Amino acid sequence: MREIVEELNERIRAEHRRPAGGPVLRARPLDVEEAVTSWREGLSSGY
């Protein structure tokens, strides 16, 4: 999970570095620890 979020963050950062050629990207990098904690809580709750 951690690697997936880190890869997503890198893709988001790469898009932010590119010149704007289309719609504005409003996505922001995620807090990796927060995402992992949320994922683990979802696993333990059965959802």
Print the SS3 string covering 1-47. Answer: CHHHHHHHHHHHHHHHHCCCCCCCCCCCCCCHHHHHHHHHHHHHHCC
Most confident of 6-10, 19-23, 38-42: 6-10
Question: Where do the domains of the chain lie?
Answer: 2-16+27-45
Q: pLDDT-based confidence at 45, cuts 50/70/90?
A: confident
Q: What is the pTM of this model?
A: 0.79
* Digit-coded pLDDT (tens) for 29-41: 999 999 999 999 9
